[in-house]
Amino acid sequence: MHPGTPIRVEITKWGERPHWTYEGTWLGSDEHGEWLGFPVGTHYQRPGMEFVANFGSVVLVPRGGRAFLAGFNDERAVARMYVDMATPAQWDGTVLRSVDLDLDVVMLQDGTIYLDDEDEFTEHQTAYGYPAEIVAMAESSASRVLAAVRAKEPPFDDTAQRWLDLLV
């Protein structure tokens, strides 16, 4: 892909249950992975909910099959960073697909950092039948990401800013 290529993101829940879909552009890649752009006005939808973003966002699709998708938002969003634990993302042409595994590492604009949706993760292990290896992958990924965000390790430092600047 080349910068500016239109892309579509299709996120499901375990068992091919529909979740979020949205469209943006492929911005480029660096040592951390591929960067996708979603400007103000991006339409996000999932069953029972949709919204048009009043903030800009970039998403990092990490290299090496890592089990997360990291969103970095501009100052208009409630969260500065929102990292979804997910199955390693896969490209099908210009469509990116991944399975959301509930756990999220969130950093608010004021710097508050926390692990979110542990209750949902516990509930879905039974309701959706997560295999033991998927549970272990999500827990391990959440632990590593939470530590990296707290330590401000790249790409969880100011790395995303250069990509956010492309949305202007």
Provide the residue ranges of all domains of the chain, joining segments of one domain with +. 5-163
Longest pairwise C-alpha distance within the chain: 43
Q: Tell me the pLDDT of the chain averaged across its residues.
A: 97
Find the radius of gyration of the CA atoms of the chain: 15
Instruction: Work out the percent of the chain whose per-residue pLDDT is above 70.
Output: 99
The residues that bridge with 107 in the sheet, in sequence order, are 81, 113
pLDDT digits (tens, 9 = 90+) for 24-36: 999 999 999 999 9
Q: Which of 53, 35, 56 is nearest to 44 (CA)?
A: 53
Looking at residue 69, its pLDDT comes to 98
Looking at residue 16, its pLDDT comes to 94
pLDDT digits (tens, 9 = 90+) for 81-90: 999 999 999 9
Q: Model-level pTM?
A: 0.95
CATH topology of domain 5-163: FomD barrel-like fold (2.40.380)
Instruction: Work out the percent of the chain whose per-residue pLDDT is above 90.
Output: 98
Under 8 Å CB-to-CB from 75, ≥6 apart: which residues?
55, 109
What is the DSSP annotation of 33-44?
EEEEEE-TT-EE
| Whether the bond into 155 is cis, omega within 30 of 0 | yes
Under 8 Å CB-to-CB from 8, ≥6 apart: which residues?
21, 22, 23, 94, 95, 96
Q: Is the pLDDT of residue 168 over 80?
A: no
The residues that bridge with 120 in the sheet, in sequence order, are none
Looking at residue 81, its pLDDT comes to 98
The answer to whether 59 and 96 are in contact (CB under 8 A) is: no
The CA-atom distances, in angstroms, between 23 and each of 7, 103, 108, 151, 152 are 6, 23, 24, 31, 28
